[in-house]
Amino acid sequence: MQYGMVAATAEWGMPLDEVTIAEVLSDNGYETHMLGKWHLGYFSPLFLPTARGFDTYLGYVNGENYYWSKRSPDYPQHVDMMESTTSCYTPYQGTDKHDYSTIFYTDKTLELLDEKAASTSGNPFFLYLAYQAVHDPFTDKGKFITGMPDSYFDDEPTILSTIHSEVKGKQRQEYVKSLYMLDKSIGQIYDKLEETGLMDNTYLIFMSDNGGCFHGGGKNGPLRGSKGSLYEGGIKVDSWIYSPRLNNQGVVYSNLMHVSDWFPTILALASIEYVPDEDHPLDGVNQVKGWQDSTTQPRTSMLYNMYLYLTDYQFNIWTNGTFAVRDNRFKLMHTYNDTDYGAWYDEDTEYEGDDDFDSDERCAQQFLTGDFVYYLFDLDEDPYETNNLYYSDDETYTMVKEQLYQLLPGYEARATTKISIHWSQHAEVVWETYGNNILPWADTEKLVNGEEYEHPVYCATLR
């Protein structure tokens, strides 16, 4: 699915034969809940979170959203805000619908935690909270055309004055405001877990999906690059786990860890044995032993990305097939030397267009331009990717390149050809029919039976 985002009217999503961690946890007695960004397909209700292992869902299904109106920036006449269970889905109509989304999702989380603390069911629970912060756009149509009001900081005037005095550029200031509200919310969630006593038996995990986008106020310096690139600034992110159940709190983990590792790691923390079928081997590895023993390295190599096959396009790693792979020290990469995506954006650097709140620019890999370049970096000695060793005559680097290239056939053997995507002409008709709300447009039963469909169904057996 790395070749492009799941666009609003595209009839595709995460393949239905893939197993989510919510499904595994649900099969093992967990209540499962999701809030926030989905973006893994929804043209049919079969692709909704509540058809993929979650008991409840409340959030938006596309790549970005306006924080207040909940409208889609790509289709601003339509609202992208849905709630669903395993049997029904509907546009969200709560009176708090237009609250700033970070506050909205936090409030819903706090309510859920109060319910779980008061519950007598004894069932463990899993919550996946996918905030949209700190994704742009930070403005909204109509009332919030200049971004977050200063009144949001009435109780914290020092924070607001610091942002205005020390952060350069309006876009960057809105980014920092968004980040501050996110930090504050995570603190509230932690406080609620402590207050209710749930923290004693809970793991709290934080992760980001990618580096900041320079068009959206994000700057990853001193790391190189932006979201959408395979440089470290686009890939390397903060992540942490906290629980009183962990006996090595405060330790910085320096081993390689990929986001896919959370699947087997969380299951290990929950003492759940899971054996995938032969057609779907796990990409992730269990990292718990590495946390417990500093001499253990659960992962010794990592694929960042690899462009291979489309049904209508062929990539070649030597001419246009962007990829990056690494071991513990060295990173091999073929990519375009885009001057925007491959730059070093330091905190105090201003760039042209920072005050343009209506920018349609995107940070995505398919927009990379420039010459196609081969790189080899020694990340131990050069974490900011300033010195390209690819063409060095040193035998050590020649050997390292060969070893990293030898990893590629294994990744290629497990790759899947992406099918051609059908772009629906029917989606917007359905959204208009149902009050300009973005919803699935394929009738589940008709889709399964291969029949033509005319309208969605609000209630169906999703799983």
Question: What mean pLDDT do residues 340-364 have?
Answer: 75
Q: What are the pLDDT digits (tens) for 280-310?
A: 899 999 999 999 888 999 999 999 999 988 7
pLDDT for res 309: 81
pLDDT for res 448: 56
User: What is the torsional sign of CA 254, 256, 259, 263?
Assistant: negative
pLDDT for res 186: 98
With 80 as the cut, is the pLDDT of residue 406 above it?
yes
Mean of per-residue pLDDT scores for the chain: 92
Question: What mean pLDDT do residues 452-462 have?
Answer: 64
pLDDT for res 440: 92
pLDDT for res 446: 63
pLDDT for res 457: 64
Q: What are the pLDDT digits (tens) for 22-72?
A: 999 999 999 999 999 999 999 999 999 999 999 999 999 999 999 999 999
Q: Can you read off the two tokens belonging to residue 61?
A: 């299904």
With 80 as the cut, is the pLDDT of residue 178 above it?
yes
Q: Are strands 301-306 and 323-327 parallel, antiparallel or unpaired?
A: antiparallel
Helix intervals (H) in 101-152: 101-118
pLDDT for res 8: 95
pLDDT for res 77: 96
The dihedral formed by the CA atoms of 383, 387, 390 and 391, expressed in degrees to the nearest 10: -160
Banded pLDDT at 226 (limits 50, 70, 90): very high
Q: Can you read off the two tokens belonging to residue 118?
A: 């008061």
Banded pLDDT at 447 (limits 50, 70, 90): low
Task: List phi, psi (to 5°) of 376.
Answer: -135, 125
Contacts of 154 (CB under 8 A, 6+ apart): none
List domains and CATH numbers for the chain: 1-202+424-463 (3.40.720.10)
* Beta-bridge partner residues of 37: 60
DSSP labels, 161-211: HHHHHH--SHHHHHHHHHHHHHHHHHHHHHHHHHHHTGGGG--EEEE-SSP
Q: Are strands 31-37 and 56-60 parallel, antiparallel or unpaired?
A: parallel
pLDDT for res 148: 97
With 80 as the cut, is the pLDDT of residue 239 above it?
yes
Of residues 242 and 348, more confidence is placed in 242
Let me know: does 153 contact 160? Beta carbons within 8 Å: yes
pTM here? 0.94
Listed as own residue / partner, the contacts of 60-66 with beta carbons closer than 8 Å and 24 or more positions apart are 60/36, 60/132, 60/438, 61/438, 62/6, 62/8, 62/438, 63/5, 63/6, 63/37, 63/39, 64/132, 64/135, 64/136, 64/137, 65/37, 65/101, 65/132, 66/137, 66/140, 66/141
What DSSP state is assigned to residue 49?
G
Q: What are the pLDDT digits (tens) for 188-214?
A: 999 999 999 999 999 999 999 999 998
pLDDT for res 66: 97
Question: What mean pLDDT do residues 239-262 have?
Answer: 92
With 90 as the cut, is the pLDDT of residue 356 above it?
no
pLDDT for res 455: 56
Task: List phi, psi (to 5°) of 426.
Answer: -100, -20
pLDDT for res 431: 93
pLDDT for res 391: 97
Banded pLDDT at 336 (limits 50, 70, 90): very high
pLDDT for res 444: 62
Task: List phi, psi (to 5°) of 187.
Answer: -60, -40
Banded pLDDT at 357 (limits 50, 70, 90): low
With 70 as the cut, is the pLDDT of residue 429 above it?
yes
